[in-house]
Amino acid sequence: MRAGNKASARVQVIDSHTGGEPTRVVIAGGPELGRGSMADRLKVFRDQHDRFRSAIVNEPRGSDVLVGALLCEPANPEASAGVIFFNNVGYLGMCGHGTIGLIATLAHLGRIQPGKHRLETPVGDVIATLNEDGSVSVENVPSFRKAKAVAITLDGSGAKTGTGDRIEVAGDVAYGGNWFFLTKECDVPLEFSRIEQLIEFTWRIRRAVNAQGFPEVDHVELFGAPQGAGAHSRNFVLCPGKAYDRSPCGTGTSAKLACMAADGTLAEGAEHVVESIIGSRFTGKFKWVDREKGVIVPTITGSAHITAEATLMLDEQDPYCWGIH
Ligand code: PYC
């Protein structure tokens, strides 16, 4: 029985985590979205079945941190799958950790073998390689920096709440499949014990960036020195619904690579190891697509682990059937 309209629908999901960040892939029981491109199907999903999104990822079945991935038949028969990513508040163009989780899920189901797999997303195709050791490399959509060293004025409430008295933050606006504001200007150490302050600080930045000319930015990325041997940087990424990314964020790492490529601080093909706020790692590298325009194609490598195979029950009689939101 299909979800979205009928009572007591059953939805089959596979849960995984990629560097600590969870992904829930809907493998059966999702809404019918037609046969268009993933961008077309996202529109149908958003306009006609948004409560299904909420039912899958929000409480009581999920949590703010969970990213959903609706597995779709691809429009192009040469692609292995199509996918639409979603979260507690809406939809993602692309999702790096989620793509790694999706490939691990398809491998777990025996639907794919090691090698390259084309995946369709609403913002373009990506090529995911299931490596022999089980890790996954994602050749992401073209990524670029839109604006360098943008000065953002904060609302000044941080001094009272422990995020420092900084009222101006300079950072870059960049695209890596989602939109990011990236800055190293943070008075709070990038440590797990400081999560609450980091969330508050980045939320203030998000509001200010949106109000000051960049409404498209829905992720904020702080970066700084790594803690572990062999890593090149550490980050903290605030996601659109105020959850923080436990992984180093694939699209955020892509945006960072675009900034480093534009600044000439990372060479084409060189590896850049990024540590998340919990210490999990992705390895990134890039190739140029258009050096003059600063457009790159990043490749992000990481690993995912399956955590559950489940059937979700969507009972219309349940007052919280469609999630708490
Ligand atoms: O890995 O791209 C990513 C991502 C976006 C939001 C959460 N994770």
Q: Out of 247, 256, 274, 282, give the residue to mutate to test ligand 1, the one with the largest number of ligand atoms within 8 Å of its CB.
A: 247
Task: Band the pLDDT of 155: cuts 50, 70, 90.
Answer: confident
Q: Is the CB of 126 under 6 A from ligand 1?
A: no
Which residue among 72, 95, 186, 259 is the active-site one? 95
pLDDT 10s digits, 92-140: 999 999 999 999 999 999 999 999 999 999 999 999 999 999 999 999 9
In angstroms, the CA 304 to CA 19 distance is: 7
Ligand 1 centroid–CA 187 distance in Å is 24
Q: What is the pLDDT of residues 203-228, one digit of tens each?
A: 999 999 999 999 999 999 999 999 99
Torsion of CA 251, 253, 257, 260, to 10 degrees: 130
Task: State pTM to two decimals.
Answer: 0.95
- Known active-site residue 95: yes
Atom from ligand 1 closest to the CA of residue 94: 2
CB of 306 within 8 A of CB of 16?
yes
Pocket test for ligand 1, best of 88, 180, 237 (most atoms within 8 A of CB): 237
What DSSP designation does 31 have?
Answer: P
Evaluate if residue 46 carries a pLDDT over 50.
Answer: yes
**Is residue 6 over pLDDT 60?**
no
Distance 53 CA to ligand 1 centre (A): 17
> Do the Cβ atoms of 171 and 235 come closer than 8 Å?
no
Query: What spacing in Å lies between the alpha carbon of 177 and ligand 1's midpoint?
Result: 9
pLDDT one-digit tens code per residue, 47-65 = 999 999 999 999 999 999 9
What's the confidence (pLDDT) of residue 158?
54
Q: Is the CB of 251 under 6 A from ligand 1?
A: yes
Answer whether 95 contacts ligand 1 (Cβ < 6 A): yes
Q: Which amino acid is at 299?
A: T
Distance, CA of 287 to CA of 20 (rounded, Å): 27
Question: Is the CB of residue 30 below 6 angstroms from any atom belonging to ligand 1?
Answer: no
Whether 145 contacts 172, CB under 8 Å: yes
Residue 4 in this model has a pLDDT that exceeds 70: no
State the alpha helices, DSSP H only, in 155-211.
Answer: 158-161, 195-211
Query: Is the C-alpha dihedral spanning 212, 201, 244, 58 positive or negative?
Result: negative
> Would you place residue 160 in the very low, low, confident or very high pLDDT band (cuts 50, 70, 90)?
very low
Active-site residue identified among 72, 186, 249, 321: 249
> 180-219 burial string, b = 16+ CB within 10 Å, else e?
bbbbeebebebeeebeebbbbbbebbbebbeeeebeebbb
Q: How far is the CA of 318 from the centre of ligand 1 (A)?
A: 31
Q: What is the pLDDT of residue 8?
A: 80
pLDDT of 24 higher than 90: yes
Q: pLDDT above 70 covers what percent of the chain? A: 95
Q: Which residues of 82-91 are buried (b: 16+ CB within 10 A; e: fewer)?
A: bbbbbbbbeb
219 alpha carbon – ligand 1 mean position (Å) = 9
Q: Find out whether the beta carbon of 83 lies less than 6 Å from any atom of ligand 1.
A: no
72 labelled catalytic: no
- State which H helix or E strand residue 52 sits in: helix 50-57
* pLDDT for position 297: 98
Rounded mean pLDDT of the chain? 95
